[in-house]
Every structure is written in C-alpha cells, then in structure tokens.
C-alpha cells in the first residue's frame, strides 16, 4: 500500500510540473537523480531483512553541466519487499511487520577524486520514513562513483541543461523501526542522472 503511495507521490512531483508544460503542448523533465539498490537491515533477533530501495530526487549536480564541488538533492525514498517473499521473514520481535516504508530525504555530498569524465562523491543523507503506524528518522553515510557528461543546448523552443550520468553507490546508516528500536543497514546499487529538459510548442 505504502509502495503505491510512494510511487504516486513521485508521479505527482514529476508529472505535476510536466503536466503544466504539457497543457501548452510542451514538456518538462526536471533535473533528477534516480537510484535503485538492495538494502539489508539487521533485526533485533539477529536476522537480516532484505528490501529494494528506490530514491528519486531533484539534484543540483544533475542541473549544473560543469564540475561542481558539492551536490545537494531532495526527494522521495522508498523501501519495499518483494510481493512473493514469505511474510515470516518480516517478523520483528515476534510480530509480523510490513517492512515497506516511504518518505522524504535530503542529501549533501562533496566531490572527491575526479577525472575528465568521472568523479566520486562522499555524502550524508537524512530521511523521515513513514512506516504506516509510525514515522521514523534515519541517516546514512554514502560513497558513489559516476561517469558523467555535461550538456547545454537550446533552440527551436527546446532546452537541455545539466548532466547525464551513470553511477554505482554504497552506503551504511541507521533507521528508526516501527517497534521503536533503531536498526543499522547497508545498501548498494546503481543510479542515473537526468538533466533539465524543456520542450515548447
């Protein structure tokens, strides 16, 4: 249920602005960073709870087509389990819990080692997750490396401005749990950057 809410929230954020442009027979795609990965959280009883983690956010480094020493992004984060995974593996402290959650995040990263077409980032993310019955805070320290190219072009009622990139990332952090405890997690995955794209009539 919350996965659907998260996807709907992302659609509202992205399609809302695009829809206003589309009303004038144009299109708008905001500068985004999209990341998909696998997260493993340690439960109180010693088990490991696995979930898919999705982040979609607006990003400064996705908008700026040149090297930048810092990136700030704000967006939506969702963690969810496979629909065919046995619910028994989701039991925490003797009770069945739906491990899916959705919320908002803010991420700040500084650039590390870099070359002409690649760069690394070291950053931290804060998040507020909705677990359904309760909400919880979380935080993560993360590192990523990406291959990127800046682009800035316009004409004929169209504009492309920002960065196209493919990345790999890893992180570790803590999240408050629905039962009131705090659990550590690790996650890793792949990501992509999409520049600002505006198309007129």
Bridge partners of 142, per DSSP, are: 123, 171
Instruction: State the pLDDT at residue 181.
Output: 84
Domain count, the chain: 1
Rounded mean pLDDT of the chain? Answer: 83
Question: How confident is the model over 121-167, as pLDDT tens digits?
Answer: 999 999 999 988 888 999 999 999 999 999 999 877 889 999 999 99
Phi/psi region, residue 21 (left: phi>0; alpha: psi -120 to 50; beta: rest), is: alpha
pLDDT at 19: 47
8 Å CB contact between 186 and 39: yes
**Alpha-carbon separation of residue 36 from 39, 61, 78, 168, 197 (angstroms):** 10, 18, 10, 10, 22
Mean pLDDT of 96-120: 89
Quick one: average pLDDT of 15-43? 76
Enumerate the β-bridge partners of residue 51.
39
**What is the band of 2 on the pLDDT scale with cuts at 50, 70, 90?**
very low
Asked whether residue 87 carries a pLDDT value surpassing 50, the answer given is no
CATH number at residue 7: 2.40.160.20
The CA distance from 14 to 56, in Å, is 10
**Residue 97 DSSP SS3:** coil
Backbone angles phi, psi at 117, to 5 degrees: -125, 15
* Cα-trace Rg, the chain: 18
Of 103, 52, 54, the closest CA to residue 81 belongs to 52
**With pLDDT > 70 as the criterion, what percentage of the chain qualifies?**
77
pLDDT at 171: 98
Tokens found for residue 190: 């792949």
Per the model's pLDDT, the better-predicted residue between 103 and 13 turns out to be: 103
* pLDDT exceeds cutoff 60 at 83: no
Residue 33 belongs to domain spanning: 2-199
Q: Residue 62 in contact with residue 150, Cβ under 8 Å? A: no
Q: Name the maximum alpha-carbon separation found in the chain.
A: 62
**% of the chain with per-residue pLDDT over 90:** 61
Kindly state the tokens that stand for 178. Answer: 């629905």
Q: What six digits make up the tokens of 198? A: 């505006």
Higher-scoring residue by pLDDT: 154, 83:
154
SS3 49: strand
pLDDT for res 96: 41
Taking the CA atoms of 40, 43, 47 and 52 in sequence, report the sign of the dihedral they define. negative
Closest alpha carbon to 57 in 105, 12, 8, 9? 105
| Cβ–Cβ under 8 Å, residues 59 and 73 | yes
């Amino acid at each position: 249920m919350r996965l659907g809410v998260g996807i709907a929230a992302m659609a509202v954020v992205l399609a809302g602005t695009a829809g206003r442009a589309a009303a004038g027979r144009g299109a708008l795609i905001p500068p985004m960073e999209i990341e998909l990965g696998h997260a493993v959280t340690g439960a109180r009883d010693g088990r490991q709870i696995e979930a898919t983690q999705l982040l979609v956010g607006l990003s400064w480094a996705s908008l700026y087509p040149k090297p930048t020493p810092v990136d700030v992004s704000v967006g939506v984060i969702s963690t969810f389990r496979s629909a065919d995974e046995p619910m028994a593996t989701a039991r925490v402290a003797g009770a069945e819990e739906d491990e899916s959650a959705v919320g908002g995040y803010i991420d700040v990263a500084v650039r590390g080692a870099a070359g002409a077409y690649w760069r690394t980032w070291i950053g931290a993310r804060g998040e507020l997750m909705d677990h359904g019955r309760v909400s919880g805070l979380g935080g993560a320290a993360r590192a990523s490396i990406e291959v990127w190219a800046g682009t800035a072009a316009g004409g004929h009622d169209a504009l492309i401005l920002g960065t196209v990139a493919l990345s790999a990332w890893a992180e570790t952090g803590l999240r408050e749990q629905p039962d009131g405890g705090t659990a550590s997690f690790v996650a890793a995955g792949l990501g992509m950057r999409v520049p600002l794209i505006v198309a007129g009539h």
